[in-house]
Every structure is written in C-alpha cells, then in structure tokens.
Amino acid sequence: MNIREAVQDDNQSLIELQRKCPMGTDLVLQLDSSPDFFNRSRGYEDWHVLVAEEEDMLLGAAGYTVQDKPIGGESYSLVYEDGFMVDPEARRRGIVSALQIEIEKRTADSDIMHLNIIEGNAASHNFFAGRGFQQVKGCAPFMVMAYKEHAVDKFKIRRMREDDIPVVVDLLNETYREYELYNEMTEDSFREYYGRLPFYDMDDIYLYEGDTVLAVAGVWEYDKVMKFKMMGFNTKWKLMRMITNFMGLFTAMPKIPDVGEEMTNWHLTPIGFRDPHAANQLLGYLLNMAYKQNVGMINLPMDEDSHVKEIRSGYKHGTGSFFWYMKPISGKELPEMGSKPMYVDIRDI
C-alpha cells in the first residue's frame, strides 16, 4: 500500500470514495464535495490531503492542516485532522492506521494533534483514544431552521463595507478574546481568512447599527462546498418528521428532509456582538434570506459553554453533540483547557 499527497487528478476518485462512505449512525448523511473535492480544504493556508492506494486503486484518504493557536496564553503548533475515509470493501486492513501514522510522521515537529468526532461514532472514538487522543471539550452544532420570515429591525441592518473592517475586527476580538484557540484578528488576517474561503465574499457579511456597530454576522453558502443527502435516520427522527409534517398543515414548521433528500445549509461566519439582541436580529435577517432561497438551515458550531448560543433565542433550532480530542506529539504535556470556552473555527466542521 502506498500513501502519498493527493493531486488534482485524484479529484473524481476522491468524490466517488466519499459517496461510498456515509457519515453518522443515528442520522446517516452522504457527503458530496463535487465538483471539486479540494474546496473543503482551500480555506486553510497550509493544507494537505493524503490518499492510500494499492495497484492504482484509491482505498482511503485523510486531510490535515497545521496552524499556530493559543491555549492558556501560550502559542502551540496544532495539527487539525479531518476527512478520514476508507472504501467499505477495504476496511479492517489497517488503512486508517497507516494514514494516521503518516500524518504523525509528517507533523512530528508540531505540538498537538486535534480533531472532532460526532456523538455516537464509537468506531472513531475507540480508534483515536487507542492512539493516545483525549477528549477535552464537548461541542454543539446549533442548526437554526429557516422555514418562515421573521420580523426584524431591518432598517438597522446593512451590508459590511471595506471601511468597516477595523470596526468588525475589534468587535470579533472583543467577542472571543477570552476563548481558547482564538487568534486575535488584524485587518490583514481578516481579509486573508475570508478571502480564502471558497464561495465567500465580503458582501455576505452584515452589520447591525445603533449608536455604533453592535453586531456582525455573515453566511457562507456551504452547499457549494459540500452537499449533504439524508441516507437514513432513527426512530426519533422519524417521529420528529411525522410531527412537523402534521403541524405543518396548520402553521409554518421546519421541514425535515426525507431519505434521499438533501439537507441544504449555510454556515454562520463571522458572528460577533456587543448586544445579544442585535445579533439575534441579524440572525433573523439571515434566516429570512435563507428562507427566500430555499435553504433549510443555518449552522453554528460552538463550544457548549459559549456565550454565543444566547443569540438563537426565539428561533427553532436543532442540536447535536460532537467532541473535541487532542493528543500531544512533541514530548510536551497536553495543556489544561480550563474553564474558558473554546473557539470553534468554522473551517474545522
């Protein structure tokens, strides 16, 4: 078996492998990054996708990126891992282990490896725990439903302009300054970060103004990066779908996709605020936009202790759970994450 860096010519093979590897247990989703598998990674500066192949057959893949981030006031070189896939016909042949060993070899000079695992994925938990990873944080992806128009203070809301960047940067830093893994932004790093995201534009960011800018929020049309198709769900989801369909005969209700249907979604980024009400109104404004464009939900992944969850008040939302895992790789001890909330980078989800 050969492990190498993926190239653009692997694009179609990676997309076909992805379609063979649905994600989840209770809720099973098929991921589809067509037409360009690598868009998932292009938001990072230093990103890599590795493939495992045998006799020119692509059997597995995994991605990683290396970034410097602060924990406890100290800067660490962190390796974020994502996108592990193995062809179902090639499982139990050590492919995931081989990919993980290769990533660890390539990043041996870094300090910490980290990744997230969705609740219920026992196989991934067991594998990474067996390789020395420790669960350090519980997180929650809040899925805010776009199913009707909401009354909002639309006359206080406008698109961000280029000359707003200094104010927006200050607002984001004020919102997350005490969070672990948050690198304070500068005007240049803000432009670089959002300029790197595929299918993102400064026109996707909105401000809520009072005496000053009270909140900022934007949406990333993630459906253009990766599509999600419902492949199966448990009894709880079936019951929820039956109830919402019945209630939908009498009032506006969120639509829960059936098996074979796509879950359309946007990601909420950036989000920063001085006033929770202003951010709540901005979220409602963006939900109205999503509703008019037939987008089912706006996703906001965060530490379950994040104060940002205040802004979802008054909007129907679904919740889930995923867990953050870390492993020291350079002889250092794993730092204590402490009581501070952790900043969840939207690119890592």
How far apart CA 85 and CA 96 sit, in angstroms, is: 8
Q: How big is the CA angle at 67 (ends 127 and 265), to the nearest 5 degrees?
A: 70
Mind listing the pLDDT tens digit for each residue in 54-111?
A: 998 999 999 999 999 999 999 999 999 999 999 999 988 999 999 999 999 999 999 9
Range 311-322 average pLDDT = 84
147 and 135 belong to one structural domain: no
Q: Does the residue 244 lie in any domain?
A: no
Domain total for the chain?
2
41 and 58 belong to one structural domain: yes
The answer to whether 256 touches 288, Cβ cutoff 8 Å, is: no
Domain that holds residue 96: 2-139+322-348
Evaluate if residue 246 carries a pLDDT over 80. no
- Write out the H or E segment, with its range, that includes residue 173: helix 165-176
Whole-prediction pTM: 0.92
Q: Does the residue 168 lie in any domain?
A: yes
Indicate which CATH number applies to the domain containing 66.
3.40.630.30
153 and 32 belong to one structural domain: no
291 and 199 belong to one structural domain: yes
Q: Does the residue 72 lie in any domain?
A: yes
Q: Which of 282, 313, 312 is nearest to 153 (CA)?
A: 282
188 and 271 belong to one structural domain: yes
Q: How big is the CA angle at 237 (ends 231 and 243), to the nearest 5 degrees?
A: 130
207 and 256 belong to one structural domain: yes
106 and 19 belong to one structural domain: yes
Q: Does the residue 280 lie in any domain?
A: yes
The answer to whether 144 touches 283, Cβ cutoff 8 Å, is: yes
- Per-residue confidence (pLDDT) for residue 203, from 0 to 100: 93
The answer to whether 192 touches 67, Cβ cutoff 8 Å, is: no
Q: Which of 109, 44, 43, 46 is nearest to 76 (CA)?
A: 109
Evaluate if residue 12 carries a pLDDT over 90. yes
**Distance in angstroms between the alpha carbons of the first and the last residue of the chain:** 29
117 and 206 belong to one structural domain: no
- Write out the H or E segment, with its range, that includes residue 299: strand 297-303
Evaluate if residue 51 carries a pLDDT over 80. yes
Mind listing the pLDDT tens digit for each residue in 103-136?
A: 999 999 999 999 999 887 888 999 999 999 999 9
Q: Which residue has the higher pLDDT, 137 or 27?
A: 137
Mind listing the pLDDT tens digit for each residue in 216-238?
A: 999 999 999 999 988 887 777 77
Q: Which of 117, 124, 136, 76 is nearest to 100 (CA)?
A: 124
- Per-residue confidence (pLDDT) for residue 14, from 0 to 100: 97
Q: Does the residue 47 lie in any domain?
A: yes
261 and 305 belong to one structural domain: yes
Q: Does the residue 263 lie in any domain?
A: yes
The answer to whether 111 touches 328, Cβ cutoff 8 Å, is: yes
Q: Does the residue 233 lie in any domain?
A: no
Q: Does the residue 294 lie in any domain?
A: yes
Q: Which of 346, 31, 41 is nearest to 50 (CA)?
A: 41
Range 3-12 average pLDDT = 97
50 and 184 belong to one structural domain: no
